[in-house]
Amino acid sequence: MRPIRTLQVAAAAAVLLAATACGSSGSGSSAGGLNPPDLKEPTKLGKTEGEVNLIAWAGYVEDGSNDPKVDWVSDFEQQTGCQVHSKTAASSDEMVKLMKTGEYDAVSASGDASLRLIASGDAAPVNTDLVPNYKDIFSGLKNGAWNSVKGQMYGIPHGRGANLLMYNTEKVSPAPTSWSAVFDDAGTYKGHVTAYDSPIYIADAALYLKATKPELKIKDPYALDQKQFDAAVALLKKQNADIGEYWSDYLKEVSAFKSGDSVVGTTWQVIASLAADEGAKVNAIVPKEGSTGWSDTWMVSAKAKHPNCAYKWLDWIVSPKVNAQVAEYFGEAPANSKACAETSDKNFCTVYHAADESYWKKIAFWNTPIEQCLDGRTDVKCVPYTKWVQAWTEIKG
């Protein structure tokens, strides 16, 4: 997710995770009346161009310079002859800006960036037949609202993760099964509740209201009209009184759960695993209302100067072995179904629910709220993301 950048990042690992967080993605809703520019997908690949320029989240394009043992770029360069130049972006907005320069061939876009790239014509449709490994991608990641328009894929899915409810098993009893633990019942653990520090967290409140307040008729937590939005904001303002701290840095959340400063709140699987490894008594679940989540997609620029090398990269990064490596390094569920056989920790895919499609059905993947309601309503205007940002400031007070 979004917030970690520059100075606040104490360790390279923190950057990595922060960026992950930024790697949000779209929900399963249909993208209203999105009419992207008419661009043609390539029908066949030509000779590789000798180099490729990538924009990626930290940890997605590792050539061994951060950690000699973490390297899936060198083999790619040897096998394809495509020299990789990668630029690490800190946010979806930076990715969009960089893609507009036309100097890059491919990007690991999150759902909130991908829709914008498709709409503005910066991302080209992708011919999945030219990416042999695409056939092994989990079906739940194909034709999502955040990576396709009207059945046309605009990229190759990379991986995904859910925003879970984590609690301290010693201090929180009975064990929570609902998000009410951080909303209506948050007062029980006043001052020890934590939440993710980003405007997109408003969708978590909307998801809870969708289940508990049917009269609001929320269909998609990323498509909120003014009334639904106000209800979600009011819920979060109430929650603010019980919040101990908001987190955006994963190290911060690990330390808060270890010390007991936080006992219940949202988390990612990688944080839950790390906290448990470091001795915190925690458990992380998908509550009965479901969860929000994120998913990233490798997209090709419409102005790519090295499209053939870009397609080679798309195929390489989702090939079973590499996809397993990057998923384990980053802490997310891999996109390739065959990656699970390649992970160094044989339990990895089980922990991250990589193959469990019924699990992912409960996840509303991050998407960028726009005025055009993403759930298809045309009689109202939805609240756009810039308003979410303002509201988030007001919620925190």
Q: How far is the CB of 199 from another protein (least distance, A)?
A: 8
- Interface ranges with another protein (CB under 8 A): 2-3, 7-8, 10, 91, 93-94, 96, 116, 119-120, 191, 240, 243-246, 248-249, 252, 255-256, 259-261, 370-371, 384-387, 389, 392-394, 396-397
Q: Whose structure tokens read 């109430």?
A: 238
Torsion angle of the four alpha carbons 113, 111, 144, 220, in this order, in degrees rounded to the nearest 10 = -120
Q: How far is the CB of 48 from another protein (least distance, A)?
A: 33
Distant-in-sequence, close-in-space partners of 168: CB < 8 Å, separation ≥ 6: 257, 260, 262, 263, 264, 280, 281, 282
Cβ proximity to another protein, 50 vs 260, nearer residue: 260
Q: How far is the CB of 45 from another protein (least distance, A)?
A: 31
Q: How far is the CB of 179 from another protein (least distance, A)?
A: 19
Cβ proximity to another protein, 157 vs 244, nearer residue: 244
Cβ proximity to another protein, 288 vs 396, nearer residue: 396
Quote the radius of gyration of the chain (alpha carbons, Å).
20
334 preceded by cis ω (within 30°)?
Answer: no
Question: How far, CA to CA in Å, does 54 sit from each of 167, 229, 299, 328, 333?
Answer: 38, 36, 10, 21, 22
CB contact at 8 A, 318 and 158: yes
Cβ proximity to another protein, 189 vs 352, nearer residue: 189
Cβ proximity to another protein, 209 vs 263, nearer residue: 263
Q: How far is the CB of 5 from another protein (least distance, A)?
A: 8
Cβ proximity to another protein, 177 vs 386, nearer residue: 386
Q: How far is the CB of 370 from another protein (least distance, A)?
A: 6
How many residues are there in the chain? 397
Tell me which residue of 161, 167, 75 sits closest to 334, measured CA to CA.
Answer: 161
- What is the three-class DSSP state of 44? coil
